[in-house]
Amino acid sequence: MDTRIYVMTHKKTAEIPNPIYIPMQVGKSGKESLGYLGDDTGDNISEKNASYCELTGIYWLWKNINCDIIGICHYRRFFSRDEKLLDKAYIEKTIQKYPIIIPNSSCVKESSVYEQYAKIHNSTKDLDICRKVLEEKYPEYLQAFDFSVRTVLISPGNMWITAKSVFDRYCAWLFDILFEAEKQIDISGYDDYQKRVMGFLSERLFRAWLLMQPEAVTEENVKLIDPADFMNAEKKTALLYQYAKLKTAPVLRLYSSGLQTETLAEPLECHDNFDGKIPVWTCWWQGENEMPELIRCCTESIKRNLPSEETAFRLITLENCTKYVTFTDTVIRKFNEGKITYTHLSDILRAELLYRYGGMWIDATYYAASPIPPEIFRQKNIYTLRFRNPIWSADITKGRWSGNLWYTVKEHRLFKFLMECLWYYWEESDELINYFLIDDIIALAADSFADVRKELEQCAYASDKVFELHKIMNRKYTKERAESIRRDSVFYKLNRHADYRKTNIAGELTMYGYLSTNI
């Protein structure tokens, strides 16, 4: 699809790191060119920019551009998700369900939008003129307009994304009203700010128009940011990766030389033979009796859905961990000093468990919705949740693995390398500079060792629904939702810090309420 997002600007801006975003110089007529697309050719109202603001660009796009999907944002304000610009794939997928995308609604401080207009603009006379024009030209919209200005919600900035046909429909309606209102509004005594009256009026008209449309509407976050700063997350990720590489360089050189054959792990006599089965590890340091309800719900779902003939579930706690792992004196000391947190002690734990015994590591915040395929436990290669598309663009994994869910045979080189890099890191460091250090080390292994990289690439792609259950935990339980959860993915990642509730405001059972009753 031909999808374009036009970025309204009157000044030179940093290059935007996405080709669908097109800078557009508004009010270009009589001004020095910035080298961008301008609003002063063809059918245009560029000379009206002082009172129409970004609407001169919107008018030009209405009259002079053809495309499938069109969007409007500003040189300092962008639609964003997960700290990133909305991309082409996300926009086109969203538009299929919600043909109109608008910014998250803002809430005025005053008792209504009408009162807010009076306070900011010293009078409502221009808004009243606009209402009169609306009543004359589009009386069917009057009730929607009166309702929208009585509320406290507003959609600022004339920002939105929609099909060009919908955009054109709105523009024909909007400019018909504004051109007539302009004839009746005297701006001769206004300062430069108040002269932007047509832009202000359009923001109040927009929500009235939306109320009368048949298309579904969704809201997206708007971030105030310089375009260049959208790359900060990627730059930070790259720097942290280089830092991890520097801090673990001696271990990496040793492995790359081919001389590393013995392990640094001390011998440990483990009396657990796992009943001759493959161990499945999860951890809750405080023990089963101290588990929050969500963690209990997740661990029980895992145990319930494991192939019992082939696997043995083991919960690691602070009390029993030394039966299975050694750690190092430094790790133990720095944990006791508070320099290593429980979270990062579990990173070291999983590396050593998987190296010594193999099996599956699964974080205690995974919910297993259906039987875990026994085939996972019969393979000789690594298994992890691998995604066709990165979940987060600034994530070093790029969807290639999930550090919180692994299966491996024992003494695998990846987990030996991970274990020894973590030990070495804490020998040299007193603080953790990156929460996702284990992913940086796994990335080092994938980039440095062809066999590790090949095994990761051979993992089948996981369902992209893994994170969907989290989004609907507080929605009303329905049989259809429960069935789709069981059908769409085996594993779902939840968030123990989220405010999951058992009933909604109407007292109805939520998805979390339903799942928690099945512990």
Q: Are residues 357 and 498 in the same domain?
A: no
- Do residues 275 and 360 both lie within one domain? yes
Residue 203, domain member (yes or no): yes
SS (H, E, C) 222-256: EEECCHHHHHHHHHHHHHHHHHHHHHCHHHHHHHH
d(CA 252, CA 448): 8
Classify residue 67 as left (phi > 0), alpha (psi -120 to 50) or beta: beta
Which pLDDT value is given to residue 422?
96
Q: Which of 199, 225, 251 is the last residue of a domain?
A: 225
Residues 140 and 256 in one domain: no
Asked if residue 270 and residue 181 are part of one domain, the reply reads no
CB 364 within 8 A of CB 492: no
Q: Which of 225, 260, 284 is the last residue of a domain?
A: 225
Q: Are residues 269 and 253 in the same domain?
A: yes
- The span from the CA of 127 to the CA of 400, in Å, is 55
Nearby residues of 422 by Cβ (< 8 Å), 6 or more positions away: 347, 348, 351, 437, 438, 441
Regarding whether 506 and 411 lie in a shared domain, the answer is no
Task: Tell me how far apart the alpha carbons of residues 78 and 86 are, in angstroms, rounded to a whole number.
Answer: 8
Sequence-ordered strand ranges (E) for 370-447: 383-384, 405-408
Dump the DSSP string for 112-129.
SHHHHHHHHHS-SHHHHH
Q: Which of 173, 203, 225 is the last residue of a domain?
A: 225
CA distance 384 to 456: 8
85 neighbors 18 (Cβ within 8 angstroms)? yes
CATH number at residue 373: 3.90.550
- Answer yes or no: do 14 and 151 share one domain: yes
pLDDT on residue 390: 74
Total domain count, the chain = 3
Instruction: Give dist(CA 119, CA 121) in Å, integer.
Output: 6
- What's the pTM? 0.67
Q: Do residues 187 and 248 share a domain? A: no
Range of the domain at 499: 469-516
Residues 274 and 332 in one domain: yes
> What is the rounded CA–CA span in Å between residue 19 and residue 16?
7
- The answer to the question of residue 230 being in a domain is no
pLDDT in single tens digits along all 519 residues of the chain: 999 999 999 988 878 878 999 999 999 998 999 999 999 999 999 999 999 999 999 999 999 999 999 999 998 889 988 767 889 999 999 999 999 999 998 898 999 999 999 999 989 999 999 999 999 999 999 999 999 999 999 988 899 999 999 999 999 999 999 999 999 999 989 999 999 999 999 999 999 999 999 999 999 988 887 766 666 777 888 899 999 999 999 999 999 887 766 777 788 889 999 999 999 999 999 999 999 999 999 999 999 999 999 999 999 999 999 999 999 999 999 999 999 999 999 999 999 999 999 999 999 999 999 999 999 999 999 999 999 877 666 789 999 999 999 999 999 999 999 999 999 999 999 999 889 999 999 999 999 999 999 999 999 999 989 999 999 999 999 999 999 999 999 999 999 999 999 999 899 999 999 999 875
CB 32 within 8 A of CB 49: no
- CA distance linking residue 416 with residue 250, whole number of Å: 15
If asked whether residues 130 and 277 sit together in one domain, one would say: no
Residues 432 and 501 in one domain: no
Q: Is 287 helix (H, G, I), strand (E, B) or coil?
A: coil
Verify that 379 and 492 share a domain, yes or no.
no
